[in-house]
Chain A
């Protein structure tokens, strides 16, 4: 029920904005290396003003299921809102004190049957909501036996590193996957004196396959948040947080740290570029061929580092 509601809503919005959809698709095949006009990182959703007040542009299977919960709860909330505000307005008018109201109104102290009803009905409603949302939660939290892609995400003050791991080489003793050598290192998204046109850090991922993210922090707590995935998960030192998603649509999706982590918390941007599988495989093959340079970039990377010398090369290579 929930999932279909979400899809229906999405379809309606897609119908509203075919032009924006085309633009998005165009962006999907273009390298996202143009700095935004106004000095800040990527827009999280593009310039779509549609869907204000509703979830919109959600692109993962899990996110669509989660966003589908919004509408039924919204409708219940609206019903309660109208009921109570309506009663307040009605009473403010109907029972306002008039000149003739000199005596006391009827002194009603309570009504047991009524009180039981208005305790039981909300209890029933929240139980149903709990069951519905927990069923979706179980799906969202589910992980597959063999994810197609495993990405280790390291958060640090104030940036991210994406390391592509080998899904076939899991070591249960260390709880780690073997590294493939493909790394998307930190690159600053803000223009500076040295780098007036910086490249937004961009991780490439395939659509339609389960992708496992494994989150670690090198210092304080961060949170990995991509609004288009309708999901965030905290990035906690001393702990590996895992989740799996399947992206359904190619496109470029902005993300940002969502847990306050210090001075430049507001600038911890990254983007995810979802591409068709063939394109992804070609990209992996190319990166694997260029493994020595990536390894170099990786070793040269300082977690607290400000600007990555290798970063520009790295991404401009991608862009080519």
Chain B
């Protein structure tokens, strides 16, 4: 301990063989495989979305029939949620969290590999549903519809989701044990970087919610194939029961998708503002509060069933806006008075704040039960979920990819291409999803393949479709960026952004054992403290060993 951790160039990485990738238990390789798999499904899910938007561009059924359309929106949601955002954030956490903790790997490297390969098995099951009649049930799989649909595809979807569920449960346990047991000496819980904190809370949410949905999916499978009566009113079952099970998982799931995004933003803003995260402890408390409150609001998805106690769920839905608001104010205060540098990760982070705000505000409307009666199951809700998951999760994912790419690949992505991509995505997101508020308010319901030309919805839908194609177009500069950058030689910059946390204290890419030595950890910014001695606040100022030439 005590010597600077930067040993740029001391470890010379070589290309791994295919066999090494297939048999690896290295958290970094597994992380990269997660990220690549997730990005592939992002593009497949995106193509499905283009199918939906193209059909809705103008009134009339031009391109696809009802049956095909009904498969598209469900599969789009399943892929984007379970095969893109979840594996993507899991992959990033896989790569980054052990580095941030100063650990050599996850606690259970082989279970980590198992989680990834189970993800692939689940993904194959889900994709194969297309070949067996598809799953025209929506991702919500509402009973009795999902029990009645005569298509093997639904069974494959159910099995695939159960496999994914177990993959994520194993992953969650792995992260919890890693975070509680593998922290470097000196790294107390309140000195963990925010991305690790949000991964911890996400793992808790996964562990509490996934067993519930796995059980529910198996119940539907039994109802479908063996005549179980769990959800059949004629057999004493209840269709409402499924909605409770689904949303008891489904709402925490939203936070499972978005909390890691909060973590990413909370990593990037301080680095590019050159200030500490404002109100770190409040931020930790707000994260935990969002996680806890996430389990009290599930039935706000069920206001129109007439079967839930409305004021309770309305109140907690309003309440969850408070810790979310705290995060917004803390992010803004982090930027206040800083020296802001707008590299692509920062651009995406500020874009995240600017647009996720809209997803927060239009979500608050939905807590108003009488208003929800109007816009539930309309495009207002579609707009809300996409402002949360595209302007939220996708923006944060691109921020993270640009931010950590130099660590993973040893060279930076092109800033110019990154900025071009950002502005296309920024404009596309707003064109695609903002008009959907008006459509919802006008009574356009979701999951319909067509609408009347008399309804006055044509222009708004057309704009939305243009936006969707812009979003798709924004992926092209990114792919080109990755392709071009990977053909360049490595720069091995260990700390390209002047970072705060331990992943920047080791080589880029890190050696299989991650690091040779660690800085002294006395705050949530140990690497910053080492580079700028006496500037930050560690609770213990004193005998910091002298570092040579680390400060830039």
The answer to the question of A219 belonging to the interface, with a C-beta cut-off of 8 Å to chain B, is yes
Q: What CA separation (Å) do A178 and B438 show in the bound complex?
A: 42
Tell me which residues across on chain B come within 8 A of A219, comparing CB atoms.
144, 148
B231 to chain A, nearest CB (A): 10
Tell me which residues across on chain B come within 8 A of A101, comparing CB atoms.
339
Tell me which residues across on chain A come within 8 A of B319, comparing CB atoms.
123, 126
Tell me which residues across on chain B come within 8 A of A80, comparing CB atoms.
357, 361
A42-83 Cβ-contact flags toward B at 8 Å (1 or 0): 111111110011110000001101110110010001001100
Q: Which of B233, B328, B338, B350 contacts A237 (CB 8 A)?
A: B233
With A65-B370, A69-B368, A259-B377 as contacts: A233 and B337 at CB distance below 8 Å: no
With A85-B357, A95-B336, A118-B325 as contacts: A44 and B306 at CB distance below 8 Å: no
A300 to chain B, nearest CB (A): 24
Q: What CA separation (Å) do A265 and B448 show in the bound complex?
A: 7
B453 touches A234 (CB 8 A): no
A85 touches B354 (CB 8 A): yes
A38 to chain B, nearest CB (A): 4
Q: Which of B4-12, B83-91, B276-284 contacts A (4 or more CB under 8 A)?
A: B276-284
B371 to chain A, nearest CB (A): 6
A40 touches B450 (CB 8 A): yes
Q: What CA separation (Å) do A41 and B453 show in the bound complex?
A: 10
The answer to the question of B167 belonging to the interface, with a C-beta cut-off of 8 Å to chain A, is no
From 117 to 138 in chain A, residues with beta carbon under 8 angstroms from any chain B beta carbon are 118-119, 122-123, 126-127, 129-130, 133-134, 136-137
Q: Which of A103-111, A159-167, A307-315 contacts B (4 or more CB under 8 A)?
A: A103-111
With A221-B145, A236-B307 as contacts: A44 and B442 at CB distance below 8 Å: yes
Tell me which residues across on chain B come within 8 A of A92, comparing CB atoms.
340, 342, 350
With A126-B321, A258-B377, A262-B136 as contacts: A109 and B370 at CB distance below 8 Å: no
A228-249 Cβ-contact flags toward B at 8 Å (1 or 0): 0011111011110111000000
The answer to the question of A227 belonging to the interface, with a C-beta cut-off of 8 Å to chain B, is yes
With A44-B442, A45-B455, A263-B70 as contacts: A84 and B358 at CB distance below 8 Å: no
B238 to chain A, nearest CB (A): 7
B340 touches A96 (CB 8 A): yes
Q: What CA separation (Å) do A63 and B443 show in the bound complex?
A: 13
A256 touches B239 (CB 8 A): no
Q: Which of B145, B310, B371, B455 contacts A44 (CB 8 A)?
A: B455
A36 touches B452 (CB 8 A): yes
Tell me which residues across on chain B come within 8 A of A43, comparing CB atoms.
452, 454-456
B interface residues, Cβ below 8 angstroms from A = 59-60, 66-67, 70, 136-138, 140, 142-145, 148-149, 233-234, 238-240, 273-276, 278-282, 304-307, 310-311, 314-315, 318-319, 321-322, 325-326, 328-330, 332-333, 335-342, 350, 353-354, 357-358, 361-362, 364-365, 367-371, 373-374, 376-378, 437-438, 441-456, 532, 535-537
Q: List 25 A-B contacts (CB under 8 A).
A: A38-B60, A40-B453, A44-B452, A55-B441, A62-B370, A66-B370, A66-B371, A81-B358, A88-B354, A96-B341, A98-B339, A109-B280, A111-B279, A118-B329, A122-B321, A126-B318, A137-B369, A137-B370, A220-B142, A227-B374, A230-B370, A230-B373, A261-B145, A262-B148, A263-B67
Q: A91-B340, A95-B273, A140-B373 are in contact. List 18 more A-B contacts (CB 8 A).
A: A77-B361, A80-B361, A84-B357, A95-B339, A97-B341, A105-B337, A105-B339, A108-B333, A137-B314, A225-B377, A225-B443, A230-B374, A231-B374, A232-B376, A236-B240, A238-B233, A262-B148, A266-B448
